[in-house]
Structure 1
Amino acid sequence: MSESADEVLFEVAGQAGLISLNRPKALNALSHGMVKAIAARLDDWEANPAITRIVLRGSGEKAFCAGGDIRQVYDMGVGQGLKGAPEQTSFFADEYILNSRIKHFPKPWVSLIDGIVMGGGVGLSVHGSHRVGTEKTLFAMPETGIGFFPDVGGSFFLPRMPRRTGYYCALTSARLKQADALLTGVLTHAVASSSIPALTDALCAGEPVDAALSRFAVNAGPAPLLEVMDELERVFGLSSVDQIWQALASSDSDFARNCLGMLASKSPTSLALTFEQLNRGAELDFNGCMRMEFRIVSEILKHTDFYEGVRSVLVDRDNAPRWQAASLAEVDRTGLAAYFGRPEGGDLPLP
């Protein structure tokens, strides 16, 4: 895609390979062209000994990267009669292979998350060695609200977040700010937004990464999640999403009411699928998680919930999705096995 030349910018700045996501009007949403461009540039930069670290940032004032270009994926599917177009699975295959590349990249990978980071943007950052957040950071995995699932390596990092916070984020699409993102391990470092330019200069100048991040570090303050952590861990540690729902419904706490309100807007099929996905992901290595996610996405694109979710949120914007299962009780649990089966076109080609 020729437009990717402007959508993502590359610069060798001192010792840094500097990547700037450059779609500020689209909150730096990740297109297929951007995925392919980043992957190609990493081949060069990994082999270049003069480049000792990668620095990734977003353009504009609002977002690091608000996710994959889901509208692009939706349009591909609508054009193919909602059957799972090859262009769709190709996008996700390339994105998931890039996620694995970042996870295993041999040089420091520093993401400057000075704004919104969701979905595909999380996949570009959370698997890297250094995730730097500011007071403008806003993290979420909102996929269950559009009939999808928390992909881009969510199978790996979400069940490994402490005290079931990953299950909470995956199911409810809860938004975390700087202190909570630091507490849960989404971020590794906290700095002030105003210091991002100077920090970038230091990283490009070759200052050791950990030393530079320590020099600019700030106290993120108390994490609000700590106030509800005991209840969160107890409820989201239950053995099924149905039990989680029942526990929340039987509680009169503000936390439970808020969670139940968030869950009520999600695709019931996505909730059941996501819970199973995280349980399986907890037992897999990273590439095993990515292969599983490719199996899930290959199947989910054949069903209506994803298209209905995107329609309700991004196309018609009526926020009134008509899910294929109207409640958890209506979800075909035996049918979930199909999401974990080998796709017709084969598994994701990872070692």
Structure 2
Amino acid sequence: MEEQLMTEPVVFEELPAAEGKVGRITLSVAATLNSLTLEMVDQLQEKLNAWSTDDSIAAVFIEGAGEKAFCAGGDVQALYKSAVEQPGGPCEYAEAFFTREYRMNYTLHTYAKPLICWGHGIVMGGGLGVMAGCSHRVVTERTRIAMPEVTIALFPDVGGSWFLNHAPGKTGEFLALTGASINGADAIYIGIADRFIASEHKDAVIAGLCQQQWSTEPAANHARVRHVLRPFAEQSISASPAGQVEPHAATIAQLLDGDDIHDIIDKITSQDTDDPWLAKARDSLAHGSKLAALWIDRQLWETRHAGLAEIFQAEIMLATNIIRHPEFAEGVRALLIDKDRKPAWQYQASRDVPTALLDQFFTPPWRENPLADLG
């Protein structure tokens, strides 16, 4: 196992149980905080497909190597390289990555067998897409979640249009616009996690899963997973951190109660507050791409009643159009390549963005959606 963790980007194991087996997936690129590459996405898809029809595999446990992160997202620098090498598109690597990543996310969301995600440490971007798609999502005292795509001119994708629209009140849109950081308690409140379990119990959780006499019926096995996780969650209640989102829900509702998205942006960015969490959220939106803020808002609005397959079809359209536009490359350059933190955004104010330009991001760039076969 240790040698595998040093050489393979994703490690797959089949752990024997009292009856049946538990599949174990370890994202194993700790040096890059287990960020997803196209190779890793393809390996995950292949193994999930294989295990879905393997009667000996009853449940799947997904984790990240190391203590720092479950998964910090996709390999954004590879996406940047694809965008700048093929300006205007098609950006072959980036578009293939998004298409296959979203397909893998859809597989997770619709998987019949129990998927247990151990969401320890940093969970961002593509990592959040993996965690949100699992059926039993565990967070710990060190879970740190953020969707800071507005700072690099992207949008909360990988199913974000689904789970943010299902968050209570206006909290999902606030998190999408501001990239505010949240913890495990927040994740449970907004519905992207199910249980808080202290990280010290991880080995015992895996041992508990391996003590089960698994059934061939997925519904019965979901019950067994809950049976294993429940006592550890009960033992961990005192270790749970205080949340930020729920205590700020009333303020968030006021900030998002604008006449239009421009008014909402003004409300958030003009706050005079000593609250460090709100102040950081304010500053993130103030320094982020105003063009991105507009497409984030519109994407959430247009998908608010959409089904899961429609969500990913809408996301691949928006992601493809974004990757072909220079705003994304400039955001990544400023934050991750040159690291000067001085992006030259195309528009300094959201009201300066032409409606016709925004419309282009919601216009299909191809004859057939590459995820048209979902659902």
If the length of structure 2 is used for normalisation, what is the TM-score?
0.89
Q: Deviations over 1:149-192 (max 9, x none)?
A: 11101111111101211111111001101211221112100011
SS at match of 2:258: coil
The answer to whether 1:279 aligns with 2:311 is no
The residue that corresponds to 1:325 in the other structure is 347
Report deviation, 1:344.
1.8
Aligned to 1:231: 251
1:85 deviates by 1.4
> Which of residues 200, 203, 211 is equivalent to 2:227?
211
Structure 1 match to 2:310: 288
Paired letter, 2:246: L
> Following the alignment from structure 1 to structure 2, what is the Cα–Cα distance between the partners of residues 8 and 334?
43
Please state how far the C-alpha of 1:258 moved relative to its aligned partner: 4.0
Equivalent residue in structure 2 for 1:195, among 198, 201, 204: 201
CA contact (8 A) 1:4 1:37 kept: no
CA distance in 2, matches of 1:229, 1:270: 24
| 1:311-334 deviations in Å (ceiling 9; x for gaps) | 111111111111111221221223
Unmatched tracts of structure 1, length 5 or more: none
Match of 2:96 among 86, 90, 100: 90
Letter in 1 for 2:313: R
Following TM superposition, by how much is the alpha carbon of 1:237 offset from its aligned partner in structure 2, in angstroms? Answer: 4.3
SS in 2 for 1:52: strand
Query: 2:218 matched to which residue of 1?
Result: none
Cα distance in 2, alignment partners of residues 273 and 285 from structure 1: 19
Determine the C-alpha separation between the residues in 1 that align with 2:124 and 2:259.
27
Instruction: Provide the residue aligned with 2:11 in structure 1.
Output: 9
Partners in 1 of 2:7 and 2:39 — Cα distance? 8
1:1-351 matches, within 5 Å, as 6-14=8-16, 15-81=21-87, 83-206=89-212, 208-217=224-233, 218-219=236-237, 220-238=240-258, 240-249=260-269, 251-255=271-275, 257-344=279-366, 346-347=368-369, 348-349=371-372, 350-351=374-375
CA distances 1:244-293 after superposition (whole Å, capped 9, x unpaired): 12323555343554432121111100000000001112110011010001
What is the distance in 2 between the residues matched to 1:285 and 1:224?
29
Unpaired stretches in structure 2, ≥5 consecutive residues: 214-223
204-213 vs 70-79, which moves further: 204-213
1:293-348 CA-to-partner distances (Å, cap 9, x unmatched) read 11101111111111011111111111111111122122122321221222225202
257 and 44 in structure 1: CA distance in 2 versus 1, 3 angstrom threshold:
closer
Contact 1:131–1:188 (CA under 8 A) maintained in structure 2:
yes
Give me the TM-score of the superposition, normalised by structure 1: 0.94
Of 331-340 and 264-273, the range deviating more from structure 2:
331-340
**Percent identity over the alignment?**
32
Preserved CA contact (<8 Å) 2:6 2:28: no
Q: CA deviation at 1:84?
A: 3.5
Q: Aligned AA for 1:214? A: R
Specify the code of the residue in structure 2 equivalent to 1:213.
Answer: L
CA contact (8 A) 2:166 2:191 kept: no
Q: Secondary structure at the match of 2:207?
A: helix
Measured on the aligned residues, the alpha-carbon RMSD in Å equals 1.9
- Cα separation, partners in 2 of 1:133 and 1:257, compared to 1, 3 Å: closer
SS at match of 1:216: helix
Total equivalences in the alignment: 349
Listed one character per residue, the Cα deviations across residues 84-121 of structure 1 (whole Å, up to 9, x for unaligned) are 41222111110011111111000111100111000000
Q: Which amino acid aligns with 2:10?
A: V
